[in-house]
Chain A
Amino acid sequence: MKRAQFSSPLLPYFLLAPQLAIIFIFFYWPSAQAIQSSFYIEDPFGFGATFVGLENYTTVLGSSEYLRIAQFTLVFTLIVTFLSLSIALVLAVKADAVLTGASTYRSLLMWVYAIAPPVAGLMGIMFFDQHIGPLVDLAALFGWDMRVGVNYYDTAFAMVVIAVWKQIPYNFIFFLSGLQAIPKHLREAAAIDCRSELRRFWTVTLPMLAPTAFFLLIINMTYALFDTFGIIDVVTRNEPANNPLTLVYKVYLDGFRSNDLGGSSAQSVILMIVVLVLTMAQFRFIERRVHYG
């Protein structure tokens, strides 16, 4: 690797300073605050705080409701990640094979991505509305009395559908460009060697797509864990009740709706640890198998 040379030893630090300042102010400092307040039970207005040691953590981890939410978050993340990746991959492979009118197809598949998340959420809940939702009417034709906001599983179903729908175009864009980056000679050589299209996909196309897929896996898991917040918020309509919730949404509820800063901070520290472990695991175990060509 080539070494960059600076005339003054202070210059690189000076150039790094803006970036470091942003990371410090918007990431490390709030994290440190969260860790600190997770050991206190605090008056919301900041008048008094009682040091309680690990009580916030034991309360949270000992609550059956928190564990139920954690369980849902895990299942939700896995389903959303799997569905949005696999559907996008199928669409990308098919769109890549289209010869006439290719750009029209591609644009049509991509433009959902331009919809802002709250708008997507609102459109989603219109479709699933108990009183006027067309998807509810559709489900009724099959004898399914769909009650989003009343029935836990129906609500979860609606959340998954909206979250997946919103994420497919993003994955599609990356998969499609990944596919188009696979050298033509490689595909042609493979086509000569093997007649089965499906087999060529598993043995040649997919390994070549692995870097893209790995990147998308991390992005999609983060999306399902954190960025679905807006969808959860519009689907539950400000009333968590017995609806399915994700861990991030619970942090918000306890901190901002219930003004319980200690409990909320403890939960966000737990989430930080989860993300840390998850990221380390992904890089350690999955990235090793990714071939960067």
Chain B
Amino acid sequence: MSFRTIVAGAVAAAALVSLSAPAFAATQISWWHGMGGRNGEIINELATKFNAAQSACALTPVSKGTYEEALASGIAAFRSGQQPNILQVFDAGAATIINAKGATVAAEDLIREAGYPFKAEDFIQGVRYFYADKAGKFVGMPFNSSAPIMYFNTDALKKAGVEAPKTWEEFEAIAPKLKAAGYIPLVQSHLPWEMVENFHSRNNLPFANNNNGFDGAEGAKLTVNSPEQRKMFEKLVEWKQADLFGFYGAGWNENQKPFEEGKVALWIGSSGSFGGLQKTATMPFGATFLPYWEGIKGAGTNSFIGGAALFAMAGKPAAENKCTADFFQFLTSPEIQYWYHKTSGYVPVTSAAYELAKKDGYYTATPAAEVGIQQLMLPAGEWSKGYRLGFYPQIRDVMNREFGKVFAGEVKVEDAFKTIEEEANQILARFAKTAG
């Protein structure tokens, strides 16, 4: 054996040892998510924090694109037995993954099996049911939780001499003044989420039969073609014609941009937009609750959780599941929740984290950061807990399509909601068959 071979061999062996050493020490777990930009970076920071806090597990987050793409990748991977340990699934995909029994291990079971205590009451009101099964058991672990809230341009309100509206009636009264002050009074970023789904929870109206779909997919039907819902959109159309409402299509950012540029007085966005807005907004801004209709009896209830949850995928060895449970435990600790709340703008999901943020004086300095969680903690109504409907992303697409036509003046509000119900009910009937 020549000298060169020996040296090369030694170097290779040393490299191998140094490479594989951490792999022996820590159990590797993977996390697929659908977040980009700043929120994606925050996820990487979160994983780094977890890996630094303990040595038994090593978590690797992988961005799979958008929420929709993350779910599709997770499904494809599961079908070929290559699923990650943790998959982030967004609100509209909740029914798809929760109804697929056997695809996931319920977060609550996973945490208990790992020997940790688990109490649903530790979580704030608005996040308890959306990712849980019928009996209230947490299937998904609420992660980035948001609520649709109304941001206001402080300068615009001052210039027009008005207060941010609490109800749509109040908005109607002040909108002409905002317009006279040179602003577009109102813009929103996600019609299905803000003006349909959460419209139903804020105004305490039934969204679908079968207990908003929570009682099962069989025979589930959307009930959005109501006089109240139609009135909301008839008003929006009326406001748009009077230049009191600006509409820039179905894209989120296209609608957010004019607000950041200071051209818009009121923008309905996500509580999770707060972190980004602090960097991009060119003017001082604040936030308040998503308005409701004073004229609707029982309105003013809480809104339900938006955003996404983390699901532990089935078919993984016990050691890895233990690590996933460790991570869930780490994630819901008050310190990490508070850190995530502060850096991203998403709301804390546990009461303990909320208390910590309050005690730390975070909301005294930035009151707008508290609006989302306060709205989720408002008194609940019978219908304010959200929905559980399969193939729901497809239903949202139908809504966006019809709303686009409504604002283009191609169809009447009445006909749009008729079409939405018809097509949504066909889609729901198809979903009911998937379980067969």
Contacts and interface: CB of A to CB of B under 8 A. Distances in A.
B250 A44 contact: no
Interface string A244-278: 00000000011011111011000000000000000
B433 interface: yes
A130 B254 CA distance: 8
Among A41, A42, A52, the one with the most B-chain Cβ atoms within 10 Å of its Cβ is A41
Contact of A42 (B247, B250, B434): B434
Contacts of B97: 45
Nearest to A263: B430
A65 B401 contact: yes
A20 to B, nearest CB: 24
Interface string B319-331: 0000000000000
Among A44, A50, A147, A150, the one with the most B-chain Cβ atoms within 10 Å of its Cβ is A44
Nearest to B93: A259
Contacts of B252: 239
A43 interface: yes
Interface in A111-148: 130-131, 147
Among A41, A150, A240, A258, the one with the most B-chain Cβ atoms within 10 Å of its Cβ is A258
B251 A237 contact: yes
Given A241-B401, A258-B397, A45 B100 contact: yes
A149 B249 contact: yes
A256 B72 contact: yes
B311 to A, nearest CB: 11
A59 B394 CA distance: 15
Interface string B243-259: 00001111111100110
Interface residues of A, number: 36
Interface in B382-421: 391, 393-394, 397, 400-405, 407-408
B66 interface: yes
Interface in A28-61: 41-50, 52, 59
A240 B401 contact: yes
B102 A47 contact: yes
A50 B68 contact: no
Interface in B62-82: 66, 68-69, 71-72, 75, 78-79
Contacts of A254: 394
Contacts of A238: 66, 68, 251
A201 to B, nearest CB: 43
Nearest to B397: A240
A47 B434 CA distance: 9
B51 interface: no
B120 interface: no
A242 B405 contact: yes
Given A150-B249, A241-B250, A45 B75 contact: yes
A282 interface: no
Contacts of A44: 75, 96, 100, 434
B426 interface: yes
B400 A258 contact: no
Contact of A48 (B72, B78, B423, B434): B434
B397 A49 contact: no
A67 to B, nearest CB: 14
B135 interface: no
Contacts of A43: 99-100, 434-435
Nearest to B258: A131
A259 B404 CA distance: 23
B436 interface: yes
A105 interface: no
B68 A241 contact: no
A260 B430 contact: yes
A149 B397 contact: no
B112 interface: no
B404 A50 contact: no
B42 interface: no
Contacts of B423: 65
A151 interface: yes
Contacts of B69: 256
Contacts of B408: 150-152, 242
Contacts of B99: 43
A49 B79 CA distance: 14
B404 A242 contact: yes
A151 to B, nearest CB: 6
Among B66, B251, B253, B257, the one with the most A-chain Cβ atoms within 10 Å of its Cβ is B251
Given A130-B248, A241-B401, A257-B393, A47 B72 contact: no
Contacts of A241: 249-250, 397, 400-401, 403-404
A77 B213 CA distance: 41
Contacts of A147: 248-249
B28 to A, nearest CB: 23
Given A238-B68, A258-B391, A263-B430, A48 B404 contact: no
Contacts of A239: 249-252, 400
Interface in B90-117: 93, 96-97, 99-103
A133 to B, nearest CB: 11
Given A47-B100, A241-B400, A149 B75 contact: no
B212 to A, nearest CB: 20
A260 B392 CA distance: 11
A52 B100 CA distance: 20
A59 B400 CA distance: 21
A121 B102 CA distance: 40
A259 B400 contact: no
Contacts of B436: 41, 48-50
B96 A150 contact: no
Given A45-B78, A150-B407, A256-B69, A50 B394 contact: no
Contacts of A131: 254, 257-258, 261
B400 A256 contact: no
A12 B10 CA distance: 48
A262 B400 CA distance: 23
A258 B401 CA distance: 15
11 contacts: A41-B433, A45-B100, A59-B430, A130-B248, A147-B249, A149-B251, A239-B250, A241-B397, A242-B401, A242-B405, A259-B71
Closest 4 CB pairs of A and B: A242-B404, A241-B250, A50-B436, A149-B249
Given A46-B79, A50-B434, A241-B250, 13 more contacts: A42-B434, A44-B96, A47-B103, A48-B436, A50-B436, A65-B401, A131-B257, A152-B404, A237-B254, A240-B250, A253-B397, A254-B394, A259-B72
Interface of A: 41-50, 52, 59, 65, 130-131, 147, 149-152, 237-243, 253-254, 256-260, 262-263
